[in-house]
Structure 1
C-alpha cells in the first residue's frame, strides 16, 4: 500500500455535500430552475423502512432515491403532500467509487441527475443527455 493512502480518509458528509452542490451547479440552468423546489439531502444510508419498501436487502445497493410524485403524474387537484426530495447516500456511493470505475465527482453527478430525472419523469436516455450536457459545461463537477 502506498504511504500516501495509509492515512487517507473518505470524504465526510460535509465534503460530500460540497460535491453534490458542485454537481448541482454543473447542471443546465433550465434543469436547475425547473427542479429548484426539490429538496436534496445527503445521508449515510437509506433507512431500513425505505430499503424494505423497495425490497432491497443490502444497504450498499441504493445510492440515491427520488421521493415524491413526478411532474408527469402530478395534477392540479392533488392534495398537499410532502416536498419532493432527492436523497444521495454517501456510503453506497463511496463503495461504488471504491471499485475504481468512475471518478467520485462524476458518480455523484450521475446519481443526482438520475434521481432528479425521476422528478421530471425522464427516461434513461433523457438523463444521459443531461449528464452529457452537464459534463460539457466544463465546470469539473463530473470530472472531479
Structure 2
C-alpha cells in the first residue's frame, strides 16, 4: 500500500518521497516490474544548473522528475557496456511547490511523477504512460 501524506505539519522529507516512489515501483505489473531492478532512484532537492540548461528549463521548480538513461527498446549489449545505470531522480522542492499549487494528494502526485519517468525508461508515449499509471495503483 502506498503511504499517504495529505496535510503534514512539516513538508514531506526525502525519505517519505522515496518510500512513496518505491511503493509505486513495487506496484507495477509484469512485465514492467522485471525491468526496473537496476534503475537507480534518487531524491534531490532541486535540479542543478547543468541539468536545467541541458533540458532548456529556466527555473528549477519547473522540473519535478527526470529519467536519465537509455530506454529499454534502444538498449543493446554494446550500448550497455560501461554505461552509467539508468536513473530516475525526483526533485523534492519542485514536487513540494507543485503539491502546494495543485492541492493534489501528495502520494498521488509522487505516483504520477514516478510513472511518468518509468514511462520514459520504457520509451512510452503519453497515452501509454497514462494507461500504465492506471495499472500501478
* TM-score (structure 2 length as normaliser): 0.86
Return the alpha-carbon distance in structure 2 between the equivalents of residues 22 and 74 of structure 1.
26
Q: Aligned pairs, how many?
A: 130
- Tell me the residue number matched to 1:54: 55
CA RMSD of aligned residues (A): 1.7
Return the alpha-carbon distance in structure 1 between the equivalents of residues 104 and 122 of structure 2.
26
Runs of 4+ in 1 over 6 A off after TM superposition: none
- Tell me the residue number matched to 1:104: 106
Aligned partners of 1:43 and 1:88 also within 8 Å: yes
Uncovered stretches (5+) of structure 2, i.e. residues with no partner: 1-6
Deviations 1:99-137 (A, max 9, x none): 2342111110111111111111011111111111112xx
Return the alpha-carbon distance in structure 1 between the equivalents of residues 115 and 17 of structure 2.
16
Uncovered stretches (5+) of structure 1, i.e. residues with no partner: 136-144
Larger Rg: 1
